[in-house]
């Protein structure tokens, strides 16, 4: 597929990801296809063997890996620039990477001279000039060696299998040692990705460590304490009232003076001003007054600001209460 068509397909798939936001059945296949096409563009932009001479099965996997690698790199770049890592910025970043890879591919294709399609096809190429694998130095040595241009001009010594093995391994027939230039080039080819990975990873780690983080918000909470913490059923309030232990916790804020309100049946029956120091837990007792002896459940709520804790209460059961409850058994409390 031509580069311009691949670029247009990549941009169209990324635009489809934006339109399919919230519908994963459409967004996931489009995203995978866009990453695969982006990886293919990245491989075409890399110098080396032309893409037409690569292994098809291995190339698909390499394109998928190259496309997936761009996603965390774009996310790290957005985080380093202080931008939110969300769908729209990610798609814009991937589109920018695709355009850069396309421009590099066009530049590379213009620099590589056009070759005869019969020579590029291994089925029509001359047996003596067919491309072989190996290190870059080995490939360059074979391409510049006039004895390997055609079988007719090759000497018997060079046509022997031992000479072929010596050329593949970087040794000549005169018994010289391995070419040092090949080892240097291989070492540089291995060290450059390692250095780039360490540099990018170290820079990303430093940016992440130095990035500002919002402080956790403070809070003021209230909870039942003591025996009241284990309330799991309605509580019977005697006629003299009921003392309920309460805990107020302060965290991440300074000293605060607030109002503790007691509500019974939705009505405020008592209020008390309390001062809570910073990062402390204060315990005190709230007295719940007697509730009506009508056999109904009444909600008891103890609140501090917007935080509250509570339970259900009812009055003491007496003969009159049972009679009243029996007479109103069909009524609603």
Q: Strands 267-276, 256-264: parallel, antiparallel or unpaired by DSSP?
A: antiparallel
Note the Cα 150 to chain centre separation in Å: 55
Query: How many Cα atoms occupy the beta-carbon half-sphere of 259 within 13 Å?
Result: 6
Q: Strands 242-251, 307-314: parallel, antiparallel or unpaired by DSSP?
A: unpaired
Q: From 288, 293, 253, 285, select the one nearest 267 (Cα to Cα).
A: 288
Q: Give me the pLDDT at residue 108, please.
A: 82
Is the model's pLDDT at 121 over the cut of 60?
Answer: no
Give the pLDDT mean for 3-20.
89
Encode pLDDT of 304-332 as tens digits: 888 889 999 988 866 555 555 545 544 45
Residue 1 — very low, low, confident or very high, per pLDDT cuts 50/70/90?
Answer: low
Encode pLDDT of 48-90 as tens digits: 655 555 556 567 878 888 888 888 899 888 888 888 888 899 9
Q: Give me the pLDDT at residue 99, please.
A: 92
Q: Which region among 101-105, 149-153, 190-194, 246-250 has the lowest average model confidence (pLDDT)?
A: 149-153
Q: Give me the pLDDT at residue 164, please.
A: 47
Q: Give me the pLDDT at residue 180, please.
A: 57
Whole-structure pTM value:
0.39
101 — alpha (psi -120 to 50), left (phi > 0) or beta?
alpha
Encode pLDDT of 211-269 as tens digits: 887 777 888 888 998 888 888 889 988 888 899 999 988 888 888 888 889 999 888 98
Query: Residue ranges per domain, the chain?
Result: 3-111, 139-210, 219-327
Q: Give me the pLDDT at residue 206, please.
A: 86
Is the model's pLDDT at 203 over the cut of 70?
Answer: yes
d(CA 96, CA 78): 12
Is the model's pLDDT at 169 over the cut of 50?
Answer: no
Query: How many Cα atoms occupy the beta-carbon half-sphere of 163 within 13 Å?
Result: 13
d(CA 34, CA 55): 21
Give the pLDDT mean for 9-27.
88
Write the burial class of residue 277 (CB in 10 Å: 0-12 exposed, 13-18 middle, 19+ buried): exposed
Is the model's pLDDT at 170 over the cut of 60?
Answer: no
Burial 119-134 (b: 16+ CB within 10 A, else e): eeeeeeeeeeeeeeeb
Give the pLDDT mean for 144-170.
46
Is 261:273 a contact under the CB 8 Å cutoff? no
Burial 41-61 (b: 16+ CB within 10 A, else e): bbbbbeeeeebeeeeeeeeee
- Confirm or reject CATH 2.40.30.30 for domain 219-327, answering yes or no: no
């Amino acid at each position: 597929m031509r580069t311009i068509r691949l670029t247009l397909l990549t941009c169209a798939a990324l635009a489809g990801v934006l339109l399919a936001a919230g519908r994963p059945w459409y967004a996931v296949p489009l995203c995978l296809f866009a990453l695969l096409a982006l990886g293919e563009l990245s491989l075409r932009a890399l110098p080396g063997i032309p893409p037409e001479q690569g292994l098809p099965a291995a190339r698909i996997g390499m394109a998928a890996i190259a496309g997936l690698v761009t996603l965390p790199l774009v996310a790290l770049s957005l985080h380093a620039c202080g931008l939110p890592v969300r769908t729209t910025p990610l798609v814009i970043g991937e589109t920018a990477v695709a355009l850069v890879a396309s421009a590099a591919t066009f530049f590379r294709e213009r620099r590589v001279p056009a070759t005869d399609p019969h020579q590029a096809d291994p089925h029509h190429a001359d047996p003596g000039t067919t491309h072989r694998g190996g290190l870059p130095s080995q490939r360059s040595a074979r391409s510049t060696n006039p004895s390997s241009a055609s079988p007719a001009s090759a000497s018997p010594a060079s046509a022997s299998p031992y000479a072929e093995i010596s050329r593949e391994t970087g040794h000549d027939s005169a018994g010289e040692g391995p070419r040092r230039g090949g080892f240097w080039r291989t070492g540089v080819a291995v060290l450059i990705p390692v250095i780039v990975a360490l540099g990018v990873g170290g820079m990303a780690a430093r940016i992440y460590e130095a990035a500002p983080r919002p402080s956790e918000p403070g809070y003021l909470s209230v909870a039942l304490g003591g025996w009241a913490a284990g309330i799991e059923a309605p509580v019977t309030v005697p006629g003299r009232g009921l003392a309920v232990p309460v805990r107020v916790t302060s965290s991440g804020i300074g000293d605060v003076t607030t109002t503790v309100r007691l509500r019974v049946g939705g009505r405020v029956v008592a209020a008390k001003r309390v001062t809570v120091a910073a990062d402390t837990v204060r315990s005190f007792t709230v007295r719940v007054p007697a509730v009506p002896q009508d056999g109904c459940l009444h909600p008891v709520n103890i609140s501090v600001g917007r935080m509250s804790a509570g339970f259900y209460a009812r009055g003491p059961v007496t003969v009159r209460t049972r009679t009243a409850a029996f007479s109103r058994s069909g009524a609603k409390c």
